[in-house]
Amino acid sequence: MVFHRRGGEEQVGSFRRGKHPRDYSSIEKIDILNMSKSEQTGFSLVEVLIAVFVLALGVIGVAGMQLTAIRTSQQSAFQTTAVELATEMGDEMRANDQQMQLPDGSNPFLNVDYQSQSGAPASAHATCYSRAANCSGEELAAFDINEWEQRVKASLPTSRAKICRDGRPWDGDAKSLTWDCDSSSGNILIKIGWRARNPDGSFTAASGMSFPPIVALTVMPRTR
């Protein structure tokens, strides 16, 4: 190996002592490492976005389940209210024996066919809140019907209530109750229906009063 001296410095070949040729392989390794870190950072961001998307889907699903549960609970409450209303009217009918002994055409209870969309029920002429009112059987029936129809309107949305004799209240083809009353000798039924919602939020009837009865209660005759 040839040594040279220049300016008081000893050289080895063409390189000065204490100096080293630039290590390009190390630079390339650093660049590759930096590139790898950048790529890893990009992949982490995509994973975060996917996680957020999946979480959002879960939140939407839970919200949908809660909304369905609320709708189902509401419809159950309406059914309970309808059964209570029908039971109340059945008791009032049995209590007014004078009117229940009349022919069907003259019985005011059997002429009830109230639809809430038609407006408020017709007011009764007499107020029969107590015995002191001294109402006749006809006046008491009119008062009871008016009060009952008001409760139906206030308790059930877009509702209908009908009282009649019906020997075949169930429609096997439609798989539902019907509003028709086809028998003069059948049982007395109190039918109540309203424009309900399906679990998906859609209405059971497209519009108007085309929905079927949901509750039908048989009025048992008064035992003597």
User: Is 144 within the bounds of a domain?
Assistant: yes
Highest-pLDDT range among 18-27, 175-184, 201-210 = 175-184
User: Is 71 within the bounds of a domain?
Assistant: no
User: Is 24 within the bounds of a domain?
Assistant: no
Please give the pLDDT value at position 14. 46
> Pick the residue with more confidence: 168 or 223?
168
User: Is 203 within the bounds of a domain?
Assistant: yes
Tell how far CA 189 is from the center of its chain: 28
User: Is 169 within the bounds of a domain?
Assistant: yes
User: Is 133 within the bounds of a domain?
Assistant: yes
- Convert the pLDDT of each residue in 123-152 to its tens digit: 777 789 887 778 999 999 999 999 999 999
Q: Which of 51-55, 99-103, 146-150 has the lowest mean pLDDT?
A: 51-55
Please give the pLDDT value at position 93. 96
Cβ neighbourhood burial of 86 (10 Å; 0-12, 13-18, 19+): buried
Report the domain count for the chain.
Answer: 1
Q: What is the CA radius of gyration of the chain?
A: 42
User: Is 103 within the bounds of a domain?
Assistant: yes
Give dist(CA 19, CA 23) in Å, integer: 12
User: Is 1 within the bounds of a domain?
Assistant: no
Q: Which of 25-29, 80-84, 212-216 has the lowest mean pLDDT?
A: 25-29
- Residue ranges making up the domain that contains 151: 84-219
